[in-house]
Amino acid sequence: MKLAVELGGLRLKNPLVAASGTFGYGAEYEGLLDLSLLGGLVSKGLYLEPRDGAPTPRIVETPSGLLNAIGLQGVGVRAFVKDVLPRLARYDTAVLVNVCGDTVEEYAEVTRIVDGAPGAAGIEVNISCPNVKKGGMAFGGDPRMTAEVVSAVRKATRLPVIPKLSPNVADITLFARVCEESGADALSCINTLLGLVIDVETRKPRLAFGTGGLSGPAIRPIAVRMAWQAAQAVKIPVMGIGGITCAQDALEFLIAGCRAVQIGTSNFVDPGLYERVLADLRAYLERHHLQDVNEVVGTLEFPGQPSRKEVAP
Amino acid sequence: MPANRHATLVAREPLDEAYFLLTFRHPEIAHSARAGQFVMIKAGVSVEPPLRRPFSILSVDPGEETFSLFVKAIGEGTRALTRLAEGEVAQCLGPLGRPFTRPEAGTEAVMVAGGYGIAPFFLFARELRAANRSGRVFYGGRGERDLQLRERFTGLVPLVTATEDGSLGARGRVTAPLEAFLDDRAGAVRLYACGPDAMLHAVARVAERRGIEAEASLDPWMGCGIGTCLGCVVFTQSRDEARAKYRCACTEGPVFDTSLVVWPGETESRARRRAKVEA
């Protein structure tokens, strides 16, 4: 049975990827699970310099979800390239680097540093973090800035460029198309939804930053809808993200048109879930007499629409 | 090395309406856990509530390959755990985090617990006895019912209680009998604290005033327990660091030297202040 997928030059041995910000730099999970089980992993967001991140409290649990404002605390791209990338080389998994910046130039510079080091399989462009004052969602919510950042990253690397889109926009297809036109090879959809939890006793936000990004099963239907819209709007492949806990959830994204998926918050809940999700994914394909996971991609039969891709005979 | 596995509940002992002793089978924790370490655990495999919860390890039984937790049912996650029936499973990752540092020979371990913060000190008291070290416990809470498990320390280490409502032991904060003890004690001591943040900070101040070493087990909200979500960070500063920085309570704690913590209302750690005075 074939589980390998390809996204704009990025080859994954299976469609399961650990999402940025939920898997550290990868090495933290050594010993808890075999990283070679993963199709890929995306590093925590990296700037040129180390960052302190947001004040505490930084996380609060919500119904079927998690609201966070970590604020992109991180070691900086140079430490990552020097200390972490070589360590991940021993695993048979694609390492994607999530690239951040306060300015367009910083995105390009971080990308150049990753491009110049061996070990990275692709660049995920973070234009959607809701928990920083500059960059992040401020860029990903503005089509002109989105185009500038993605074009700058495109020029800085030969690696596949994968912008991670914000759901906090009126029309995600506009941003998907802007990214495609700016040279993106694939898209990650979606980042967290902007949320607010209030402590009614103190009448203050529960998070020190104020607002935060909502993730987890609570956002899955929204994520599936937005990934589906993005996948229809562009020719480049889409990686679906949002509240995946099991193979069924992953399949929703694949059927909606995503070529691969990222697993985020569930890494916190059960670091061992990849083995289970892969086994269940295989069982599903077998049950549906499919030899190749790609055969399920984009097979959604949506009312009133001709099916976009026929299931292979 | 921590292990992530399904852990079967083998014993469930209600202590009163809110407090429970839960014993799970988990060989890695039973064989290697040290006092101050914790587990991330969640009842069953349900989605709700999403996150696992951190708990200090109360005791281990390597022979039976089990460990026990002291759980107060407060919210959804803790209630779900206390509703597990014997034979049912929890998802459990552990042992995690940095344990308490054992005192040197001749130094007495003075443990200060608030409410369910007593949990790690039962394992610690057993470790101390096995290592032939002396220890004692000061145990405080709002009232008598918050001082569960106190009888279980009988024959292990001396235990002094204090309650804010005066229902058991000295009336008031637990730091009062602690300070009275330290006033009279001539030999070397090392403080260990686990409980509410205000109590930890109070113990840190006692340690600073008296120039003694202290460790506190901090209990911030945790997402993952293994240093990836960066949700549980604590503001800390070593003597060599010009600026304070965030350290994960799950991997660099939960036990911290109190002199490294930048406590609420402070701008620098005690370690840094001391380094500047010495320079």
| Minimal Cβ distance to A268: which of B47, B220, B223 | B223
Q: Decide if B230 and A73 are in contact by the 8 Å CB cutoff.
A: yes
Radius of gyration of chain A (CA): 18
- A129 catalytic? Reply is yes
Residue A309: per-residue pLDDT: 52
Give me the residue label for tokens 């500059």: A134
Q: A209 touching B, CB under 8 A?
A: no
The answer to whether the Cβ–Cβ distance between B229 and A22 falls below 8 Å is: yes
Q: Locate A201 and state its tokens.
A: 């006793």
How far does B265 lie from chain A, in Å, by closest CA? 14
d(CA B104, CA B135): 12
Residues in chain B: 279
ipTM for the predicted complex = 0.92
Segment A112-138 shows an average pLDDT of 91
Decide if A172 contacts A182 (C-beta within 8 A). no
Residue of chain A whose alpha carbon sits nearest to that of B220? A57
Which of B52, B91, B231 faces A58 most closely, judged by CB atoms?
A: B231
Q: Looking at beta carbons, which residues of chain B come within 8 Å of A29? A: 226, 228
**Which chain A residues contact residue B235 at CB under 8 A?**
56
**Chain B environment of A63 (Cβ under 8 Å):** 48
Task: Answer positive or negative: Cα dihedral of B211, B216, B220, B223.
Answer: positive
Quote the strand ranges of chain B, DSSP E: 3-14, 19-25, 38-43, 53-56, 59-61, 66-72, 89-96, 108-114, 135-141, 159-163, 170-171, 189-194, 214-217, 233-236, 245-248, 255-257
> Distance from A190 to chain B by nearest Cα, in Å?
18
pLDDT of residue A308: 55
Q: Are A66 and A268 in contact (CB under 8 A)?
A: yes
B66-72: strand order across its sheet: B53-56, B38-43, B89-96, B3-14, B19-25, B66-72, B59-61
What does DSSP say about strands A94-99 and A40-42: parallel, antiparallel, or unpaired?
parallel
Give residue B264's identity as a one-letter amino acid code.
P
- Greatest CA separation for chain A: 61
Q: Which residues of chain B from 69 to 108 reach within 8 Å of chain A, CB to CB?
A: 91, 93
Tell me the C-alpha distance between B181 and B210, whole Å: 12
Please indicate if any CB of chain A lies within 8 Å of the CB of B42.
yes
User: Which residue out of B41, B218, B229, B237 would a mutagenesis test of the A interface target, given it has the greatest number of A Cβ atoms within 10 Å?
Assistant: B229
Across the interface, whether the CB atoms of A216 and B50 are under 8 A apart is answered: yes
**What is the count of residue pairs from A and B with beta carbons less than 8 Å apart?**
91
Domain architecture of chain B: domains with CATH = 3-94 (2.40.30.10), 114-187 (3.40.50.80), 212-279 (no CATH)
Q: Give the nearest partner residue to A272 out of B4, B42, B228, using CB atoms.
A: B4
Across the interface, whether the CB atoms of A269 and B4 are under 8 A apart is answered: no
Is residue A76 within 8 angstroms of chain B, CB to CB?
no
pLDDT digit string, tens, across residues A135-160: 888 899 999 999 999 999 999 999 99
Residues of chain A with C-beta less than 8 angstroms from the C-beta of B50: 61, 64-66, 216-217, 265, 269
CB-CB contact of A290 with A296 (8 Å)? yes
**8 Å CB contact between B57 and B35:** yes
Cα distance between residue A57 and residue A210, in whole Å: 10
**Cβ-Cβ contacts under 8 Å, A245 against chain B:** 47
Least confident of A190-194, A289-293, B40-44: B40-44
Coil, strand, or helix at residue B145? helix
User: Which two three-digit tokens encode residue B251?
Assistant: 């991997």
Nearest one of A10, A72, A41, A95 to A213, comparing CA atoms: A72
Nearest Cα of chain A lies from the Cα of B230 at a distance, in angstroms, of: 7
Closest CA–CA distance from residue B50 to any residue of chain A (Å): 6
Supply the pLDDT for residue A313.
42
Asked which of A46-60, B35-49, B222-236 is least confident by mean pLDDT, the reply is B35-49
Question: Whose CA is closest to A126, among A16, A45, A13?
Answer: A45
Over chain B, what is the mean pLDDT?
95
Name the pLDDT band for A307 (thresholds 50, 70, 90). Answer: low
Q: Which residue of A has its CA nearest to B3?
A: A32
CA distance B229 to B164: 37
Using the Cβ of A68 and the Cβ atoms of chain B, whether some distance falls under 8 Å is answered with: yes
Comparing CA positions, the residue from B168, B137, B132 lying closest to residue B153 is: B137
**C-alpha closest to that of B91 among B1, B21, B5:** B5
Every domain of chain A and the residues it spans: 5-53+71-194+215-296
Cβ proximity of B275 and B241 under 8 Å: no
Residue type (1 letter), B19: Y
- In whole angstroms, what is the distance from residue A147 CA to residue A157 CA? 16
Q: Does B47 touch chain A (CB under 8 A)?
A: yes
Q: What pLDDT does A240 receive?
A: 98
CA distances from B184 to A177, B163, B181 (A): 75, 22, 5
Tokens 């998994």 correspond to A93
Over residues B118-130, the pLDDT tens digits come to: 999 999 999 999 9
pTM: 0.94
Task: Tell me the CA distances in angstroms from B260 to A143, B176, B228, one per residue in order.
Answer: 45, 24, 22
Question: How far does the CA of residue B89 sit from the closest CA of chain A (Å)?
Answer: 14
Beta bridge partners of B88: none
Task: Give the pLDDT mean for A173-181.
Answer: 98
For residue B11, the model assigns a pLDDT of 98
Is the pLDDT score of A311 beyond 70? no
DSSP B107-129: -EEEEEEEGGGGHHHHHHHHHHH
Check: CB of residue B89 under 8 Å from CB of residue B11: no
Nearest CA to CA, how far is A297 from chain B (Å)?
26
Out of 2.60.40.1930, 3.20.20.140, 3.20.20.70, 3.40.190.10, select the CATH number for domain A5-53+71-194+215-296: 3.20.20.70
- B229 chain-A contacts, CB cut-off 8 A: 21-22, 59, 68, 70, 268
Distance of alpha carbon A147 from alpha carbon A167, whole angstroms: 17
- Per-residue pLDDT reduced to its tens digit, A184-225: 999 999 999 999 999 999 999 999 999 999 999 999 999 999
Is the pLDDT score of A312 beyond 50? no
Cα three-residue angle A244-A246-A251, rounded to 5 degrees: 75
pLDDT of A44-86, one tens digit each? 999 999 999 999 999 999 999 999 999 999 999 999 999 999 9
Q: Which residue of A has its CA nearest to B41?
A: A269
Contact between A58 and B230 using a beta-carbon 8 Å cutoff: yes
H helices within chain B, ranges in order? Answer: 27-32, 76-82, 119-130, 175-184, 197-210, 270-278
Chain position carrying tokens 């852990």: B7
Strands (E), chain A: 5-7, 10-12, 16-18, 40-42, 59-62, 65-68, 94-99, 122-126, 161-165, 187-189, 193-195, 198-199, 204-205, 212-215, 238-241, 260-263
Residue corresponding to tokens 């006793």: A201
User: Closest partner residue to A66 among B2, B50, B235, by Cβ?
Assistant: B50
Q: What does the alpha-carbon distance between residue B175 and residue B171 come to, in Å, rounded to a whole number?
A: 11
When pLDDT is averaged across residues B27-55 and rounded to a whole number, the result is: 93
Beta-carbon contacts of residue B60 (< 8 Å; ≥ 6 apart): B29, B30, B31, B33, B66, B67, B68, B123
